[in-house]
Amino acid sequence: MSNLNGVLDALEQDISTVNLDETAKQELTKKLVETVMPIVCAWVDKVSEGLIEASSEESGWCKFRDKIVLPYTLKSLAYFGRQVLLSTMEHTIEA
């Protein structure tokens, strides 16, 4: 248990001394856009396809939810999330 406490203490000290300057924030945003967002978008596409396929077995509200509401909500969130990150990158690079 003391080994775990030592690791947690070291981690807490590392986190408390992190200095996030503008360059670090830009790099983080760039990595999110270039690395994480393609994975998120691929997942959203795959889940949306699965929901639309599964909607053929549903009826009523569940069919509407699976065919339209959930897929387009996921796609919209992924799109707007990416756009916000790109927009903030552009504005901070200009400044």
DSSP label of 17 = T
Instruction: Give the predicted TM-score (pTM) of the model.
Output: 0.70
Q: Which domain holds residue 24?
A: 20-94
Residue 1 covered by a domain: no
Residue 70 covered by a domain: yes
Residue 10 covered by a domain: no
pLDDT tens column, 21-71 = 888 788 888 888 999 999 999 999 999 999 999 999 999 999 999 999 999
The predicted pLDDT at position 6 comes to 77
Residue 3 covered by a domain: no
Residue 64 covered by a domain: yes
Residue 2 covered by a domain: no
Tally of structural domains, the chain = 1
Report the distance separating Cα 17 and Cα 21, nearest Å. 12
Residue 14 covered by a domain: no
The predicted pLDDT at position 70 comes to 96
Per-residue DSSP letters for 29-94? HHHIIIIIHHHHHHHHHHHHHHHHHHGGG--THHHHIIIIIHHHHHHHHHHHHHHHHHHHHHHHHH
Residue 7 covered by a domain: no
The predicted pLDDT at position 21 comes to 80
Longest dimension (CA), the chain: 57
More reliable by pLDDT, 94 or 20: 20
1 has pLDDT over 60: no
